[in-house]
Amino acid sequence: MSARDTLLAELREHALVIGEVTLSSGQKADYYVDARRALLRPAAFLAAGELIAAAAGELGAGAVGGPATAAIPLACAAIATPAGSGLVGFFVRGERKEHGLQRWVEGPVEPGARCLVVEDTVTTGGSTVRAIERMRGEGLEIVGALCVVDRMAGGGEAIAEAAGAPYRALVPIDELYPDRPDREG
């Protein structure tokens, strides 16, 4: 099975939760994608890492990261793969650290670093857009953005605009949950 097929199977089995939930955007939904329930298992972790490292290589990124919590396992997965041996990971804090270096961005990245922004699940893209703004403020160059699951609710477009770089989803929601109630058509 390919890395993408493995990731999709793991997401279907462990991450898709059917039932009414409130999303971080405040919107109500009939399903939830808790990608970390899959990504923090060996098979999905390894598959996502392979796919992210490959995307970083295609874009010429030397660093992989994004919003804290969501991006941490993804960056770790990517740098742990053989294809990611030349990468470093980082994360963007939700709030600036009050002591030490008081940085927004944590990890071995310096101004000018070519970065692939990663996120586990995208709905509105708000947290990723904020992370991109903070990365730019630290002088980092965004060469692309990637999410594991895109709920296809406009977030991908917002991220692409903020990044000014290519955006893609490893798994669009149509493939993960083709029979969802909010599906158009």
> What percent of the chain lies above the pLDDT cut of 90?
81
- Assign 172 to helix, strand or coil: strand
* Beta partners for residue 141, in sequence order: 114
Cα gap 147→138, rounded to integer Å: 22
Can you give the pLDDT at residue 38?
98
The encoded tokens of residue 52 equal: 């992210």
Can you give the pLDDT at residue 95?
78
Contact 147, 122 (CB under 8 A): yes
Is 185's pLDDT higher than 70?
no
> What percent of the chain lies above the pLDDT cut of 70?
95
Is 143's pLDDT higher than 90?
yes
Is 88's pLDDT higher than 60?
yes
Average pLDDT estimate for 65-76: 96
Can you give the pLDDT at residue 29?
84
Tens-digit pLDDT profile for residues 14-41:
999 998 888 777 878 888 899 999 999 9
Average pLDDT estimate for 165-185: 87
Is 53's pLDDT higher than 80?
yes
Side chain identity at residue 174, one-letter code: D
Average pLDDT, the chain: 93
Q: Which band of pLDDT confidence, cut at 50, 70 and 90, is reported for residue 183? A: low
Q: Say whether pTM exceeds 0.85.
A: yes
